[in-house]
């Protein structure tokens, strides 16, 4: 705990009411603004110019600059010229929600298996106010259908799971839904769905569909989102309360299934899968609470010292509060949040008040707090579709800038006899090694291939690597290190290639290997964050 850092830091000024609408007096305005920037970047698909951020958030340019500098320091954003780009590390926020929820960890294997069995997309969704939000997607890539991402929010009335969640709405929730329908008939609050067709259906149609869903314990979506898209849904009930924990959906296209034959052919198998899911929920042991994190926010004081005005400490400290939640830490008291973050109680309390106001945190009946599904709106959807080459590329660029040699990422092909280059950052020497992304080479004659086939051929104190001289091309000298997945399996390799005249083998090890290993470790950190609840393609 850093009592010193936290006690001596100035308490952030209360939010002026004109800036934050109905924000309570104790809310932390820099945190509200930082969250607004993260939400804008998410809606824009993960990247935006600083001037566009200034326009869409209505914040002063100097404020946008300070917020993005702070988010960059947290490694939630990187700056590329005039653009701010969300990094995979920001997924730790959504991961905290998904881990605390436990449903993806307990149910996603069932969903994936059903998708394989039916050769159709299968998703899991939770209720989010008068909408639904996806927490898992087992997507079949098909020409004909849009598919949603983990974290996307859809209006309840345009979906099958929405009908099921509405069976549990209170009068107040129905009123809130009707008020939203009146305020936003075009679903502009839901940028991932196209506007509804004119006069397509009335509010009363949704009420009728909900009644039918209650009677049948399943629901159909017959092209409510867009022509051709059909879905059938069954609720997964919490064994202790019998309330809907999430909804499992099979999604198809009218070219393969009408909504009537979804019900006939696919619904019975969906019901079986849901029965197995509910059985697993019944049997799931309480999560093992690991050692609670401590002092998550203790680094912020040093960053403030270093960056001065550009670093908004109250934003950085506030954001660490979200990362305090995890599997087995789904509900935290103020004391527990303060302990995990190392923040003074008063600071932690104000962050929680701010999050409650923003809808990111909800109070629980036990005088504690839990994350809400809205935490997924902080960066998760665009990044849930990333790939290893995309994760690696900015790291390769930085490495090439540092060592002034061409760097590449490669994987083994399915037959394991070749390697394929999947990402690359070229050095600007006249004689730089020029191998394009997509190129395949025999695995046995490259440092990359040898590493992937047989593991490292040498183990230096700092880590393992492979060296290849004059192969596969005369004059080329390459040094490669492995990239591991979350289970410790080698899934790719990173190399730097030089000309034999430029560096000896010893110089490669001495001058390049440390930077190469550090880069591999940064790529692994991002990969492991991104892959905790999503499938990250290797190519
Ligand atoms: C989806 O997973 O993409 C999905 C699920 C249910 C719907 C529509 C789409 O009603």
| pLDDT given for residue 457 in this prediction | 52
Residue 479 lies in a domain: yes
Q: Round to whole Å and give the CA distance between 114 and 121.
A: 9
Number of other residues whose CB lies within 10 A of the CB of residue 495: 29
Whether residue 231 has its Cβ less than 6 Å from ligand 1: yes
Q: What is the pLDDT of residue 7?
A: 38
Residue 23 lies in a domain: yes
Q: How many domains does the chain have?
A: 3
In a shared domain, residues 58 and 73: yes
Mark whether 108 and 253 lie in a shared domain: yes
Counting atoms of ligand 1 from 1, which one is nearest the CA of 225? 8
Q: 440 with 361, same domain?
A: no
Sign of CA dihedral 335, 378, 274, 232: positive
In this structure, the answer to whether residues 27 and 162 fall within a common structural domain is no
Assess if residue 5 is contained within a domain: no
Query: Is 339 contained in some domain?
Result: yes
CATH value at residue 223: 3.30.450.40
- CB of 152 sitting under 6 A from ligand 1: no
Q: Check residue 475 and give its pLDDT.
A: 87
Question: Is residue 395 assigned to a domain?
Answer: yes
Atom of ligand 1 nearest to the CA of 121: 2
Give the CATH number for residue 298.
Answer: 1.10.10.10
Q: Is the C-beta atom of 147 inside 6 A of ligand 1?
A: yes
Which residue's CA is the nearest one to ligand 1's atom 5? Answer: 249
Tell me the per-residue pLDDT of 206-264, one tens digit each, with 9 for 90 and over: 999 999 999 999 999 999 999 999 999 999 999 999 999 999 999 999 999 998 999 99
Q: Are 157 and 170 found together in one domain?
A: yes
Looking at residue 445, its pLDDT comes to 82
> Based on the domain organization, do 122 and 266 belong to the same domain?
yes
Q: Is the pTM of this model over 0.85?
A: yes
What's the confidence (pLDDT) of residue 432?
62
For residue 538, tell me if it sits in a domain: no
Is there a domain that residue 9 lies in?
no
CA torsion through residues 291, 292, 297, 298, sign: negative
In tens digits, the chain (539 residues) has pLDDT values of 333 333 344 444 444 444 446 899 999 999 999 999 999 999 999 999 999 999 999 999 999 999 999 999 999 999 999 999 999 999 999 999 999 999 999 999 999 999 999 999 999 999 999 999 999 999 887 755 568 999 999 999 999 999 999 999 999 999 999 999 999 999 999 999 999 988 778 999 999 999 999 999 999 999 999 999 999 999 999 999 999 999 999 999 999 999 899 999 999 999 999 999 999 999 999 998 788 899 999 999 999 999 999 999 999 999 999 999 999 999 999 999 999 999 999 999 999 999 999 999 999 999 999 999 999 999 999 999 999 999 999 999 999 999 999 999 999 999 999 999 999 999 987 666 678 899 999 998 888 888 888 765 547 434 688 888 866 677 889 999 999 999 999 999 999 999 999 999 999 999 999 999 999 999 999 999 999 999 999 99
Counting from 1 in the atom list of ligand 1, the atom nearest the Cα of 147 is 3
Whether 340 and 237 map to the same domain: the answer is: no
Judge if 111 and 236 occupy the same domain: yes
Output the pLDDT for position 453.
Answer: 85
Note the pLDDT of residue 20.
Answer: 46
Q: Does residue 155 line the site of ligand 1, with CB under 6 A?
A: no
Indicate which residue's Cα is closest to atom 8 of ligand 1: 159
- What pLDDT, on the 0 to 100 scale, is given for residue 271? 98
Residues 191, 274 within the same domain: yes
Do residues 230 and 117 share a domain? Answer: yes
Question: What pLDDT sits at residue 430?
Answer: 61
Which of 335, 358, 383 is the last residue in one of the domains? Answer: 383
- Which residue from 435, 448, 537 is spatially nearest to 485, judged by alpha carbons? 537
192 class by beta-carbon count within 10 Å (0-12 exposed, 13-18 middle, 19+ buried): middle
Q: What is the pLDDT of residue 17?
A: 41
Domain boundary, last residue among 259, 283, 307: 283
Q: Is residue 539 part of a domain?
A: no
CA–CA separation, 160 vs 270, rounded Å? 14
Confirm if 447 and 477 have CB atoms less than 8 A apart.
no
DSSP state of 332: B
Say if residue 348 is in the same domain as residue 435: no
Q: Which domain holds residue 368?
A: 17-95+291-383
Domain stops at, among 283, 317, 342: 283
Residues 127 and 178 in one domain: yes
């Amino acid at each position: 705990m850093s009592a010193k850092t936290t006690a001596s830091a100035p308490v952030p000024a209360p939010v002026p009411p004109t800036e934050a609408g109905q924000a309570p007096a104790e809310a932390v305005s820099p945190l509200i603004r930082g969250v607004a920037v993260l939400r804008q970047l998410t809606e824009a698909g993960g990247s935006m110019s600083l001037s566009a951020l200034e326009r869409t958030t209505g914040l002063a340019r100097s404020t946008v600059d300070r917020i993005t500098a702070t988010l960059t320091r947290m490694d939630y954003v990187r700056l590329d010229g005039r653009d701010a780009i969300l990094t995979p590390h920001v997924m730790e926020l959504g991961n905290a929600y998904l881990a605390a929820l436990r449903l993806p960890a307990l149910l996603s294997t069932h969903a994936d298996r059903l998708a394989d069995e039916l050769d159709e997309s299968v998703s899991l969704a939770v209720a989010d106010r008068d909408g639904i939000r996806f927490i898992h997607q087992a997507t079949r890539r098909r020409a004909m259908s849009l598919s949603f991402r983990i974290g996307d929010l859809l209006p309840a009335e345009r979906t099958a799971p929405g009908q099921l969640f509405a069976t549990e709405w209170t009068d107040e929730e129905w009123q809130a839904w009707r008020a939203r329908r009146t305020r936003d008939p075009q679903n502009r609050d839901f940028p991932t769905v196209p506007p509804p067709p004119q006069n397509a259906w009335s509010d009363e149609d949704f009420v009728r569909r909900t009644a039918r869903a209650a009677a049948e314990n399943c629901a159909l979506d017959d092209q409510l989102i867009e022509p051709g898209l059909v879905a059938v849904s069954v609720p997964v009930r919490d064994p202790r309360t019998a309330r809907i924990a999430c909804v499992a959906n099979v999604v198809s296209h009218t070219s393969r299934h009408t909504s009537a034959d979804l019900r006939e052919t696919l619904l019975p198998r969906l019901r079986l899968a849901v029965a197995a899911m509910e059985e697993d929920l019944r049997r799931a042991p309480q999560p093992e609470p690991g050692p609670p994190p401590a002092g998550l926010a203790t680094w912020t004081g040093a960053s403030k010292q270093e960056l001065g005005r550009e670093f908004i400490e109250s934003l950085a400290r506030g954001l660490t509060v979200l990362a305090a939640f995890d599997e087995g830490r789904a509900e935290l008291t103020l004391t527990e949040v303060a302990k995990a973050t190392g923040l003074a109680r008063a600071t932690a309390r104000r962050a929680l008040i701010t999050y409650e106001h923003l809808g990111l945190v909800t109070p629980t009946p036990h005088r504690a707090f839990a994350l809400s599904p809205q935490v997924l709106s902080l960066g998760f959807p665009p990044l849930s579709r990333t790939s290893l080459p995309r994760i690696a590329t900015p790291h390769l660029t930085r490495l090439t800038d540092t060592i002034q040699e061409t760097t590449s990422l490669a994987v083994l092909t399915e037959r394991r006899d070749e390697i394929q280059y999947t990402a690359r950052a070229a050095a600007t020497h006249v004689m730089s090694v020029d191998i394009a992304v997509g190129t395949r080479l025999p695995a046995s004659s490259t440092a990359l291939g040898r590493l992937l086939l047989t593991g490292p051929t040498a183990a230096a104190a700092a880590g393992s690597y492979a060296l290849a001289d004059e192969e596969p091309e005369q004059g080329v000298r390459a040094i490669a290190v492995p990239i591991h997945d979350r289970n410790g399996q080698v899934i790719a390799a990173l190399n730097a290639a030089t000309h034999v005249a430029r560096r000896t083998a010893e110089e490669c090890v001495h001058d390049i290997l440390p930077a190469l290993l550090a880069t591999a470790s940064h790529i692994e950190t991002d990969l492991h964050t991104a892959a905790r609840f999503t499938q990250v393609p290797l190519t």
